[in-house]
Amino acid sequence: MAGTLEAAPAARAVDIDTGRVLRGPGTVAGQAVMAGGALLAILHIYVNTLGTWSETWLNVVHFGGFGALCALAYPAFEARTARGARVALAIDVVLALLALSCIGYLMLTETAFFERNAAYHWQDWVFTALAPLLVLEFVRRTTGLLIPAIMITAFTYVVVWGKYVPGMLTFPGLTLETMLYRTFWTDDGMLGNIASISATYVFMFVLFGAFLNRSGAGEFIIDFARALARRMIGGPGYVAVIGSALMGTISGSTVANVAATGVITIPMMKRAGFRPRFAAATEAAASTGGQIMPPIMGAGAFVMASYTGIPYLTIVAVSVLPAMLYFWSVAVYIRIEAKREGLTAADPDAPTLVEAFRRGGLQFFAPIGVLMGLLIAGYTPTYCAGAGIVALIASSWLRKGYGMGPRAVFEALAKGASDMILTAVLLVGVGVVVNAIATTGIGNTFSLMINQWAGGSLFVALVLIALASLVLGMGLPVTASYVVLATLSAPALAELIAQSSVIQAVAAGTIGDQAKGILMLVAPDRMAEIGQPMSLAAATALVALVPPDIARTFTEGALSTEALTIALLSAHMIIFWLSQDSGVTPPVCLTAFAAAAIARTPPMATGFTAWKVAKGLYIVPFLFAYTPLLGGNLWHDLEVSFFAVFAIYALAGAIDGHLEAPVSWPLRAVLFAAGCALMWPEMRVAHLGGLAVLAAVFALNLRAARRGARMVVA
């Protein structure tokens, strides 16, 4: 998770996710952060596995504890003199104590506050105003000014200026007291559902990742990836893909993923002959995939489960094939680049699989096996994460020299807490924005606006949401970007996806009786056709007759509960995937910039190359929207994925102008058309035709490659 520390002098450290200066572990404040973080982590583990605290108590401890750690770890300002450093530290100690005082306020006054029907006394004014001001400052320190500006805008919109906004966005306003109450005390506020997700799922799995990393699993991941790719053409590039996919289980941060694997894979790719810029871009794109790789998905699966009510295991299960498609898309570019540069397999020092497993396979797979086994058995994810940590400590002793004693356990606890600081304060801060959205109903208004702007077109809506996610991602980490965007646009997107399913159901004649009745009312002259198979064009025209004010009722009557659930899941998955693109899309692409720093390549040029290599972030969401890839029908999912594999290869060849040999512009156009045909929803003739065209182009290209190789030999 965000907040990972980069090695630096003892008195100073740097957050590799944001570049912000932190107090190093050699300072008194840094040592307090480590000790306090370890204690906070132990408390969270206890409450999430064996404890009986209320959700509100856990959330306020989460906010107060991480707020205090943030105040001590991130200085109020970067001091240039010893006196300035002392002033900053004094300010930070006061803010840390104020954050902790919010815990005491809630625990000591909660019962009395609700017994008097939430009537405000002076202390209620003080602390319910203090808490959002504190989180505003903590978010400023960790992420900059953009998110605090959004928080202030959202809060004041409700209280001050919403009534002056014309049109659909007008809001009559609430009193300051009401808004403070909603911000601090309700489920939509800063200590509500979002904070609960952070304090349970997110932090527990960040801790699990910290323990996994401390046990030496990172070394095994690289060894395992090298063993798998040792004989492949362009093997070091595949090491980045495989290593980043597995490292995503440990780290929920793409930048941290780059820092962990890129220092090994980027020099390895450069030595193998890859261009430095491509090596950095490959690592950035592969590390981005760590956020979408089950079972943890950068904590996205847990946030999605809480938002949609869909079980976590269901989300993880349907995410496996899409994640594999994404990593395949990165691997395709590696293959193309290796062929273009004439590279061969060149990693003679790579260990064998047996050697890799001997060095640490058990301590990596055993705790993950325990975690997944308990999840399947029906235990809560937080309990499973706690059990996985215990299993990890036990299995670490099976590898000589890596047994986790008290010191190693303390370091893992402290590291997990320090990695969580940015995410914790940010998600609590996002709660202020979500509260404003829920209070004003602007989420529904925004959804209506998307529908209007898109003109009922799902494709246009996808483009609008992709642009919004890119803009938000420039200032928000992925999880926060997903939360904000899902709150605003998921309902509209789910409705458009469901509408597409409705048209198919009307064409097949399989809609429910309630929906049939609505169609008979709006189109009595076509009563005989309703419930009978018809063309998609006729079904589209018929559905268009349904008035907008009963469209949702019609959709719910036309589709099964399962189909509606798939539409909702598809909408959230699309938004989550598109939220990843900011890390590899210029002008602000921190993941690509981090990789460029390691490769010593121009950051912006590396960003554009990474954007090209990570095209799977756009291709796979298209499949979510237009095919039942998330429908849970294994054979259908495999069929969609089978054709998508070839579609990705065809599109990559069209974009890059190379397969086994260079591809001419006319054939690039043919490849692009074949790729689109292979992805065309629910049209097997197009799929088979696209596959035949791709096979023919590939055969011609392979012949050209062999002819070129013979000419070189001659």
Tens digits of per-residue pLDDT, 481-505? 788 888 888 888 998 899 888 988 8
Show the CA angle centred on residue 661, arms to residues 655 and 662, nearest 5°: 50
Residue 118 domain-assigned (yes or no):
yes
Confidence band (pLDDT; 50, 70, 90) for 713? low
Confidence band (pLDDT; 50, 70, 90) for 12? low
Question: Are 452 and 553 found together in one domain?
Answer: yes
Question: Are 10 and 111 found together in one domain?
Answer: yes
Q: Is 364 helix (H, G, I), strand (E, B) or coil?
A: helix
Question: Are 650 and 571 found together in one domain?
Answer: no
Tens digits of per-residue pLDDT, 535-584? 888 888 898 888 877 888 898 888 888 889 999 999 999 999 998 888 88
Residue 57 domain-assigned (yes or no):
yes
For every residue of 393-444, DSSP letters joined together read HHHHTTSTT----HHHHHHHHHHHHHHHHHHHHHHHHHHHHHHHHHHHTHHH
Question: Are 13 and 85 found together in one domain?
Answer: yes
Confidence band (pLDDT; 50, 70, 90) for 434? confident
Question: Are 475 and 563 found together in one domain?
Answer: yes
Structural domains of the chain, count: 3
Question: Are 40 and 150 found together in one domain?
Answer: yes
> In this model, does residue 9 exceed pLDDT 70?
no
Selection from 515, 522, 521 nearest residue 501 by Cα: 515
Structure token digits, residue 476: 């928000």
CB 74 within 8 A of CB 89: no
A 10 A CB-CB count for 407 gives 8
The predicted structure's pLDDT at residue 468: 83
The predicted structure's pLDDT at residue 249: 63
End-to-end CA distance of the chain: 54
Residue 388 domain-assigned (yes or no):
no
**In angstroms, what is the C-alpha Rg of the chain?**
27
Please name the residue ranges forming H helices in 77-145. Answer: 82-115, 122-143
> In this model, does residue 3 exceed pLDDT 70?
no
- Among 139, 156, 173, the domain boundary falls at 156
Q: Which residues contact 406 (CB under 8 A, 6 or more apart)?
A: none
Quick one: average pLDDT of 310-324? 90
- Among 575, 607, 642, the domain boundary falls at 575
Structure token digits, residue 242: 């495989």
- Among 101, 133, 156, the domain boundary falls at 156
Residue 560 domain-assigned (yes or no):
yes
The predicted structure's pLDDT at residue 625: 92
Question: Are 559 and 677 found together in one domain?
Answer: no
Question: Are 640 and 535 found together in one domain?
Answer: no
- In 257-378, the DSSP E strands lie at none
> In this model, does residue 4 exceed pLDDT 80?
no
Q: Is 656 helix (H, G, I), strand (E, B) or coil?
A: helix
Q: What is the largest CA-CA distance in the chain?
A: 93
Residue 420 domain-assigned (yes or no):
no
Residue 88 domain-assigned (yes or no):
yes
Question: Are 637 and 552 found together in one domain?
Answer: no
Confidence band (pLDDT; 50, 70, 90) for 712? low
Question: Are 564 and 653 found together in one domain?
Answer: no
Tell me the backbone φ, ψ of residue 23, rounded to 5 degrees. Answer: -75, 130
The predicted model scores a pTM of 0.85
Tens digits of per-residue pLDDT, 90-103? 999 999 999 999 99
Q: Is 293 helix (H, G, I), strand (E, B) or coil?
A: coil
Q: Is 4 helix (H, G, I), strand (E, B) or coil?
A: coil
Structure token digits, residue 399: 């590898």
Question: Are 676 and 541 found together in one domain?
Answer: no
β partners of residue 658:
662
**Average pLDDT for the chain:** 87
Residue 64 domain-assigned (yes or no):
yes
Residue 261 domain-assigned (yes or no):
no
Confidence band (pLDDT; 50, 70, 90) for 8? very low
Give the domain range for residue 102. Answer: 5-156
Cα-Cα-Cα-Cα dihedral of 437, 193, 149, 258, to 10°?
A: -130
Question: Are 559 and 445 found together in one domain?
Answer: yes
CB 545 within 8 A of CB 523: yes
Q: What is the three-state SS of 414-428?
A: HHHHHHHHHHHHHHH
Quick one: average pLDDT of 446-454? 78
Quote the percentage of the chain above a pLDDT of 70. Answer: 94
Among 6-10, 154-158, 352-356, 369-373, which stretch is predicted with the lowest mean pLDDT?
6-10
Selection from 685, 687, 679, 682 nearest residue 652 by Cα: 679
Q: How far apart are CA 99 and CA 190, in angstroms?
A: 14
